[in-house]
Structure formats: C-alpha cells, structure tokens
Chains A and B, each alone.
Chain A
Amino acid sequence: KQEVTQIPAALSVPEGENLVLNCSFTDSAIYNLQWFRQDPGKGLTSLLLIQSSQREQTSGRLNASLDKSSGRSTLYIAASQPGDSATYLCAVNTGFQKLVFGTGTRLLVSP
C-alpha cells in the first residue's frame, strides 16, 4: 500500500529565506507527483506536476524535483515571502487518477 510522508510537519522561517520541503513515498510505481498549496479552510491549488519521466519542474520561485527510484520529491521555494504561508501537500498518482496524499507541511513565513 502506497504511503506518503512529508517532513517537516511544520516550518517557520523569516522572510527572504530559501527553503526545502520534503515528500517521500514507499512505492516507486507512480505516474506523476503533484504539489499543492492549501490556505486555511480552503481548497487545494495545484503548484507543480511532475510526470514520472521528468526530474524537475519549475514555476517562478518554485522548483520541484523527483527521484522516483528513491521515492523522494522536494519542493524548493526561493526568497520566501509572507504570502507563501500555507500548508503544502504532495500527492502521488498511482494510476487512473488515484491520488495518495501526504499530511502536509504547514509553512509560516514571518515578515
């Protein structure tokens, strides 16, 4: 059974820092991995989608990498801003759009 773990569970940094969020999964047989952002009490906003054949994806200050063989992905946020404060979720697609989610990393960026 696929399990997804996100470390750390919570992270607090001052504005301007570069930071890395980690996601690991137990079964490397995935089709893609998606990073989402969730603001308190709100739905999910898709940030980056990495197909299993890709190693990384970039969007603005965000860069996500995928190492399928080791079951790991990282989300790198450059020059963090208070507006980046949210919970970040990763999810692996095990086929036919069955997403298995981690419990998330709650990020707080202080001005």
Chain B
Amino acid sequence: ETGVTQTPRHLVMGMTNKKSLKCEQHLGHNAMYWYKQSAKKPLELMFVYSLEERVENNSVPSRFSPECPNSSHLFLHLHTLQPEDSALYLCASSQDRASISEQFFGPGTRLTVL
C-alpha cells in the first residue's frame, strides 16, 4: 500500500449503530487530519493530530470521537449519528504542521446515515 488509505470506502449505518472509520498513511508523516465533505459545502476540517496528540477540534459534536494510536493510524469512532452526518469523510496527512508542508489525502469513506 502507498500513500493514504481509508477503510471502509462505503458505509451505511442506522442512527443507533456504532462504527469506526480507519485511516492509514504509509508516508512516514507525523500529522494526520479528518475532514468532512458535505454536498455543496466546502471541506470542513474536523480534527488534527500531531505526533499522536490531538491539537485541534473544530467544534465537532461528541458523537464523533477520534483516536490516533500511533503516527500511522487514525480512527474516527461514530455513535448515534444523525442523517445530516451523511457525507464523504476524508483523511489526510502531512510531514508535520509546518506551514510549508503539503497535505496528502486518502480516497475517503462515503457515509450514509439512515
């Protein structure tokens, strides 16, 4: 595997389910990100992890719970979601949080909440 991978690629869940999204980066990066892309809205940054520590939480509801067990893996745990949470969830990584670094994105998980 190369670059940034995400699983699953598609997920359908009910509002009472608990599921997790997984992201893995094979680039040796130290910073990882979760973004949400809803229809007709710009990508929204959700969480930022740097060296496995959460450094940013952009007012995301607590029904989204991120986890970064090591610098290569990032999870987004989901529980009691709402239909409006249906979106494409994208993971990204960068060498670090220096402003000159470039972010590389995974293919995304298309989430549908029924």
> Which one of A14-22, A38-46, A60-68, A69-77 contacts B?
A38-46
Bound Cα distance A102, B44 (Å): 10
Whether B103 contacts A34 by the Cβ 8 Å rule is: yes
Whether B94 contacts A97 by the Cβ 8 Å rule is: yes
Find chain A residues with CB under 8 A from B56 CB.
Answer: 96, 98
Bound Cα distance A104, B40 (Å): 9
A86 within 8 A of B: no
Whether B42 contacts A43 by the Cβ 8 Å rule is: no
Find chain A residues with CB under 8 A from B40 CB.
Answer: 103
Report the interface size for chain A: residues with CB under 8 A from the other chain: 26
Whether B99 contacts A32 by the Cβ 8 Å rule is: yes
Q: Which of B31, B33, B43, B45 has the most CB of A within 10 A?
A: B43
Find chain B residues with CB under 8 A from A34 CB.
Answer: 102-103
Whether A43 contacts B31 by the Cβ 8 Å rule is: no
A4 within 8 A of B: yes
Report the interface size for chain B: residues with CB under 8 A from the other chain: 29
Bound Cα distance A93, B98 (Å): 10
Whether B100 contacts A89 by the Cβ 8 Å rule is: no
Known: A101-B42, A102-B42. A96 touches B99 (CB 8 A): yes
Find chain A residues with CB under 8 A from B103 CB.
Answer: 34, 46, 97, 99
Bound Cα distance A63, B108 (Å): 27
**Shortest CB distance A9–B (Å):** 9
Find chain A residues with CB under 8 A from B42 CB.
Answer: 4, 100-104
User: Chain A residue with minimal CB distance to B4?
Assistant: A43
A111 within 8 A of B: no
A83 within 8 A of B: no
Whether A97 contacts B97 by the Cβ 8 Å rule is: yes
B:24-80 near A, CB below 8 Å: 31, 33, 40-43, 45, 48, 55-56
B101 within 8 A of A: yes
**Shortest CB distance B67–A (Å):** 20
Contact with A along B91-114 (1 / 0, CB 8 A): 010100111111111111010000
